[in-house]
Amino acid sequence: MNGDSAMIRCPSCGSLNKESRRKCDNCGAILPQTEIRCPKCGTVNPVGNLFCDHCNARLMQQEDLNSLASRSSTEEPNSSSLKGISLPTRSPTTEDDDQEREDLPAWLRGLPDEEQRAEETGVSEQEVLENAGGYPDWLADLIDEDAEFGDVDVPVEVEVDNDRAASLFEGETMPEWLRAEVPSVEPLATEPSTEETEPASDQSLASKALPDWLSSLTDEAAGDEFDERELPIPDWLSEQELDHPEAAQSSSTPSERLVDTARPEEQDPALTAERDEMEEHDALTEEIEERTKNGATASSATRETAFSIFSETDLPEWLSDARALDLEDAGASVGEASGPEPHGAAEPIPQAQEFQEPPSEGEADETADAAEEEAVTEEAAATAEVADSEVTNEAVQGPSPSPSATTAQTPPWEGERDDTEEAELPDWLAGLEPAPPGETVSAVFTKETVSEVSVPDWLRDVSPIVEEASDLTPTAPVFVEDADDERSSSDTPPSLDEPAQEPDWLKDLDLLADEAVPTRPETVDDEAPVKADLPPWLQALAPSGQALSTGPEDAAGELVPADIPDWVRDLRADPNEPDKASLTRERIATPAEPEGPLEGLPGVLPSLSVVDVPSEARLSADSELPESVIAQAQLWQQLLEQPRSVERPVLQERVRSEGSWGIIRLLAGVILIAVLLAAFWMIPSGTRLSQVPPVQTAVGVPALAAGLDQLTPGERVLVALEINPAYAEEMAQIAIPLLRHIQAQEVETLIVSTLPESAGLGAMLVDQAGYSVTVSGRYLPGNANGIAEFLQGPEAQTAARLIVLASQPERMRWWIEQNLLLRSHNGNGPLPVSVGLSATAGPFIRPYLEARRVDGWVIGFADAVAYRDLRGDIGVHGRVLDILMLAHWLVASFLVIGVLYGLALQRKGSR
Amino acid sequence: MFRWVIPTIIAVVAGLLVLLGYLAPIPIFVSVRIVLVRWATVLAAFALVLAYGSILKVHIARVFRRRIRHRIASLILLVSAVITLVLVLLQGPEGIWVQAILSDILIPGQSAVLALTAVTLLLSGMRLFTTRRSPMAVLFLATALLMLLGTIPVVYPRTVELIVQLVDAAATGGMRGLLLGVSLGIVITGLRIILGIDRPYSGG
Amino acid sequence: MTETLGLIVGAVLTLMVFSYLLGDNVLYRWALALLVGAAAGYAVGVAARYVLNDWIVGALAAQGAPDSLAYAVPLVLGALLLLKGFPPTRFLGRIAVIGNSSLGYLVGVGAAVAVSGALVGTLIPQVTVTGEALRIDEGGLAIAQGAVVLLGTVLGLYYFHTRPHTHRDAPPSKTPVQQKTERLGMAFIAIALGTAFSGALTSALTALVLRLWQLVELAERLISLVAG
């Protein structure tokens, strides 16, 4: 098996081909070359070399270079230029990015770039994420990966033990982020910057659902008292103390330290703006309360307050509809707007505070900023900027717990309001009835539950309006699903079905109650979501006499799809294009990278098609591969899979056979030589065993003799001596009697030859023939050209005969051809030709002999002996002829033995 | 230009003129043909000199290159080539030393090599039937055996004579077919060169 | 004496070549190197003498422009041809491309001579003779021989025309008659090659016998010399 012949796979049909092939044997596609052989010296050079490494010859012609250059200009400009490496590379160019973008699903492709988003919003994504605080790990853990895009999460019922939360920070400053979640906690007076906002914050926070960890915190803390000072300080906190020693010194408790470290010295402008919004929100709430006290209904008070905020033209849609209804009902004019404000900018939407895990080592520096960052809820997504970031966050991290559900759900602490200090809840919140325990609540807007005019767009966007709650079908983004399938179990964040994992720092505090953490109801996916109870304020906005509907309906009475922005709509997978979705799924559903920096990520790098075989590649029956190709490929596969230690019997057998035939060669040679030598001594000189068949000499030898006998003295005879030194001894047995015969005729002899050696050989033969006159000789260079040039000269024109003594058939042919060609043009006719040939050339010249273009011939030693015999000059040559005959018989015997050996092998193989 | 354009023009023009000189017996063409063919013989001698120079260059490089096998053989070749050339140039083919080289070195040596081929041919004939067993192989070997035994027979009955004659006739027919095929190939190849389709001289 | 010495040299050389029967060895290689070198030097020497004696001297002795031109042109072409032997890194090697003209001339003239010879000297006569193969007036054996020759010629030529030239060529579908005809042609070719094989073997055996005869004669001469 030829060890130096590697195999490469055709990129077109996948069949195996030898490395040296340029085209595929199966489909004819051009195979990638891995080496270039120099046309001059044969040295193998790596691909990419323009000149040979050995002889500096050009390997690639200019036109090849030009075509390569033109081809490369249309291809990746940054392809690998390494010599000898023919692997495809990825070019970090925009073209790759575009290609990557094209590989993405449609709904993800429409996601605007950072630059585009920054241009549109004026805020970079980094800033947005920073402002929004991103999603901390614990929140990401809480995110339900099984939830689908657009679906509405059912919030987890949590119970907040406000007393316990308040006791934790009794006499201390509760951090703002915690205060937002615990409405009963009074802000500390020591923090003037946040005191004013805290009461309002407390009230607004009452509408929030606490995360599990906090609920568990409150539950556990309800029964136990502990000294916070005895708790171990988390590392991140201790590091913060190092960074803020003054804060640490001023604080005596970890929570205080937490508070201090959570409050950076420098205020972020964005956070300041949000704090201002909070203050406005509080102010508005107070205004609504005042109006209510003054006798207005809650809804009217709310509306009027809203009208005072927005200008005529800046009213949000949902509020404008309400206003229109008010105008119809009350006929009262809308209050003066306090001033135009950006839509949504003063939206007093209570914002869920973002709870962050205690920063680990290395993140202490970011703790201050992280603590100040507040998550943007879907209610705050009414603003354009927030809506973008929210969708981004949702798209990347999954849907967050829907605040709409949160708003729809009765805060769990409602049931415990009796036990806690009476908190002033807004009317819209006061009107909410607590949800039955254990019953899932989902903010699903159906036609029956939502007013046709009162559902704002932003809310409608979050919760699509369906016919019935049961029609809500999950449509999670593809990548979420696939990410679930391929993410390892260790990396899978816990879903809402599992108990929420509390941060480590909280674990250390050992505040968990023994009560089981409420889990998500299991009936989310199977049963239809429960219709949400609209808050009173929402209900109040509905025009009187009209039932709430899910939203505006078209003329046909069917639901109108939510007014989702186009760019959001593009992000979704189109269910009407199953092929595309399936292709997308198939594309993305590639095996994750097993190792490296891309570990766990699927479909990042395309599979190499030139060298590697795709894992899905299979030879099917429809591939139309010939069986020989398949068999060859299988054989190569078997041979390549064999370990090196496996012996190769084929090669060994071949070596063994070569050795045996070498022995046979030696034996045959020795036997032949020995027998012949013995024959020289054993056969007496006078004995004649052999005979020359008369059929061999009946025509040729006598005709030659007769032709020479016709020569008259003075004529010129041309003797073409085309004898190779190897045949000199054999041809000498023919040439010497011929020369003697010519000499006997007393003719002028001109010896010519196209072989350089024959010039000297002619002199030797003439000397051995016993010529008494000088014989001239000429060398004719150029083979047939020389013959043609000589025969057209004057010396050949006057010659009487041409005698050709040739050891090789082609030289004999040249003489005969040129003789026929030239002499016919001269009008004299061709020269009569007599030939003397070696036994090798005889069979090849027989057609000319049969054509009677030659009168008289002597072929081989046997005819030479016959000619000698005819001339009466046999001498010792009869004995030599006998020995030659013996040699013939011996060789024939060996050939027969070889045939019998072959037959024996065949019979042995068949057995 | 000099790589293939001019050589092609020269080859085409010269070939056409010589061909016309052969096929069209017009005196001017015949004269031109005679001159062109004579010039070609001189060029053939120069080509032989060029081949000799190539042999010397290769073997000189082998002699002075390190870690090369059979350096002595290359040295022997160089020495014999140079000495023979000098002797022939000085004495001519009929010179004593040149004749001695021819009769004592070239002829015995090359005859011995030819004699060695007898054993090689014998071995190849013996292995033929072990490697390829086909009717054609049988026919080939049978013909060879018949001709070997019939060339120098001890006895030559009439039957054998007839068989040999028929086999000889068949061989003549087959060889004529070979000869016609070879001649046709020569004509086609020559015409391609004369018409400039093939350009074996434009390499390098 | 010199003749004996020559015979001894020849015998030694013969034995060095025959040592190949024992396997490839140094003696065999040296003998071959000697033979190749001597043959190359001999050939070039004879060619150089021809050019020197017949052309350069003739060119120098030429009188008149046409004769001078007739002598000078081939010498110049030959000199350009010699440029091809220089390595490409040298200056002369860089202009060696000019030598392609000499090569083109040589190839063009040689092709024309070969075409003419093959056409007039082989094709036409052989085709004519093939048609005259059936010599009816010469009797039965001659007719049989002629018929066999005619059949062999036609079928042999048919076989060379129809056989595939490359291993990748898909053999076209052939009728049974075509296949049998092709096999018959192959048979005639096999017989022709069989006779050629026997002829080559005969020449080789003749060389062997004659070489051995020379060795025997040398041995006898040496014995006689030693024996006095």
Given a cut of 60, is residue C172 above it in pLDDT? yes
User: CB C47 to CB A781 under 8 A?
Assistant: yes
Q: Which residue from A779, A816, A838 is facing C121, i.e. has the nearest CB?
A: A816
Neighbours of chain C (3+ CB pairs under 8 A): A, B
Rounded Cα distance between A325 and A319, Å, is 10
Mean pLDDT of C209-220: 90
Query: CA-CA-CA-CA torsion for A686, A692, A698, A700, nearest 10 degrees?
Result: -90
Interface probe for A, chosen from B104, B146, B152, B164 (most Cβ of A below 10 Å), is: B152
Query: Given this model, what pLDDT does residue C169 score?
Result: 55
- Over residues A336-358, the pLDDT tens digits come to 444 444 444 444 444 444 444 44
C28 touches chain B (CB under 8 A): no
Please give the interface size between A and B, counted as residue pairs whose CB atoms are below 8 Å apart. 168
Q: For the purposes of burial, counting CB atoms within 10 Å of the CB of C7, is it exposed (0-12), middle (13-18) or buried (19 or more)?
A: buried
Query: Given this model, what pLDDT does residue A410 score?
Result: 45
Query: Does any domain span residue B109?
Result: no
Highest mean pLDDT among A121-135, A505-519, A857-871: A857-871
Given a cut of 90, is residue B162 above it in pLDDT? no
DSSP-assigned letter for residue C122: I
Given a cut of 50, is residue A512 above it in pLDDT? no
Closest-CA residue of chain C to B167: C191
Closest-CA residue of chain C to A822: C117
What SS3 state is found at B73? helix
DSSP-assigned letter for residue B1: -
- Over residues A655-697, the pLDDT tens digits come to 556 677 788 888 888 888 888 888 887 777 777 777 777 666 6
What SS3 state is found at A835? strand
Rounded Cα distance between A451 and A552, Å, is 8
Given a cut of 90, is residue A289 above it in pLDDT? no
Q: Which residues from B are below 8 Å from C203, CB to CB?
A: 114
Query: Does any domain span residue B126?
Result: no
A694-875 folds as Rossmann fold (3.40.50)
- Over residues A205-259, the pLDDT tens digits come to 444 455 555 555 554 444 444 454 555 555 655 655 555 555 545 544 545 544 4
Confidence of residue A4 (pLDDT cuts 50, 70, 90): very low
Rounded Cα distance between A786 and A779, Å, is 9
Token pair 């096929």 is found at B23
Higher pLDDT, C197 or A587: C197
Q: Which residue from B2, B19, B49 is facing C98, i.e. has the nearest CB?
A: B2
Query: Given this model, what pLDDT does residue A407 score?
Result: 41
Neighbours of chain B (3+ CB pairs under 8 A): A, C
Chain C, 105 to 124: residues with Cβ < 8 Å from chain B are 105-116, 118-120, 122-123
User: CB B37 to CB A788 under 8 A?
Assistant: yes
Closest CA to C202 of A736, B118, A811, B164: B118
Closest-CA residue of chain B to C190: B140
Higher pLDDT, A454 or A38: A38
User: CB C160 to CB B77 under 8 A?
Assistant: no
Query: Given this model, what pLDDT does residue A357 score?
Result: 44
Q: For the purposes of burial, counting CB atoms within 10 Å of the CB of A689, is it exposed (0-12), middle (13-18) or buried (19 or more)?
A: middle
Mean pLDDT of A815-826: 79
- Over residues A316-336, the pLDDT tens digits come to 555 566 556 655 555 544 444
Query: Given this model, what pLDDT does residue A307 score?
Result: 60
Q: Are B202 and B4 in contact (CB under 8 A)?
A: yes
Given a cut of 60, is residue B126 above it in pLDDT? yes
Rounded Cα distance between A886 and A889, Å, is 5
Interface probe for B, chosen from C67, C105, C141 (most Cβ of B below 10 Å), is: C105
Query: Does any domain span residue B43?
Result: yes
Q: Which residue from B8, B145, B148 is facing C104, i.e. has the nearest CB?
A: B8
Confidence of residue A645 (pLDDT cuts 50, 70, 90): low
Highest mean pLDDT among A564-573, A622-631, B174-183, C159-168: B174-183
Q: Which residue from C79, C100, C185 is facing B201, i.e. has the nearest CB?
A: C100
Rounded Cα distance between A250 and A253, Å, is 9
Q: Which residues from A are below 8 Å from C200, CB to CB?
A: 839-840
Domain final residue, candidates B36, B66, B91? B91
User: CB B133 to CB A669 under 8 A?
Assistant: no
Q: Which residues from B are below 8 Å from C156, CB to CB?
A: 173-174, 176-178, 181
How many angstroms away from the CA of A618 is the closest CA of chain B?
A: 38
Whether residue B150 is found in the same domain as residue B71:
no
Domain residue limits at B182: 132-204
List the Cα angle A615/A618/A621 in 5-degree steps.
170
Query: Given this model, what pLDDT does residue B84 score?
Result: 95
Q: Which residues from B are below 8 Å from C82, CB to CB?
A: 46, 49-50, 53
Query: CA-CA-CA-CA torsion for A383, A386, A392, A394, nearest 10 degrees?
Result: -90
User: CB A847 to CB B34 under 8 A?
Assistant: no
Question: pTM for this one?
Answer: 0.56
Q: Which residue from C39, C46, C117 is facing A818, i.e. has the nearest CB?
A: C117
Strands A748-753 and A716-722: parallel
Q: Which residues from A are below 8 Å from B25, CB to CB?
A: 825
Q: Which residues from B are below 8 Å from A898, CB to CB?
A: 125-130
Chain C, 58 to 87: residues with Cβ < 8 Å from chain A are none
Strands A801-806 and A16-18: unpaired
Higher pLDDT, A827 or A907: A907
Structure tokens at A789: 């040039």
Residue type, A293: K
Whether residue B18 is found in the same domain as residue B77:
yes
Q: Which residues from B are below 8 Å from A781, CB to CB?
A: 41-42, 44-45, 48
Domain count within chain B: 2
Interface probe for A, chosen from C206, C211, C220 (most Cβ of A below 10 Å), is: C206
Give the start-to-end residue ranges of the domains of chain A: 119-267+350-413+427-571, 694-875
If phi over 0 gives left and psi between -120 and 50 gives alpha, with beta otherwise, what is residue B201? alpha
Query: Does any domain span residue B175?
Result: yes
Domain final residue, candidates B91, B123, B149? B91
* Enclosing H/E stretch for A801: strand A801-806
Q: Which residue from B11, B43, B48 is facing C77, i.e. has the nearest CB?
A: B43
Residue A23, CB half-sphere, CA atoms under 13 Å: how many? Answer: 6
User: CB A786 to CB B44 under 8 A?
Assistant: yes
**DSSP structure string for A707-769:** HHHT--TT-EEEEEEE--GGGHHHHHHHHHHHHHHHHHHT-EEEEEESSHHHHHHHHHHHHHH
Q: Which residue from A666, A672, A817 is facing C22, i.e. has the nearest CB?
A: A666
Query: Given this model, what pLDDT does residue C209 score?
Result: 92
- Computed on alpha carbons and rounded to an integer, the radius of gyration of chain B in Å comes to 25
Query: Does any domain span residue B168?
Result: yes
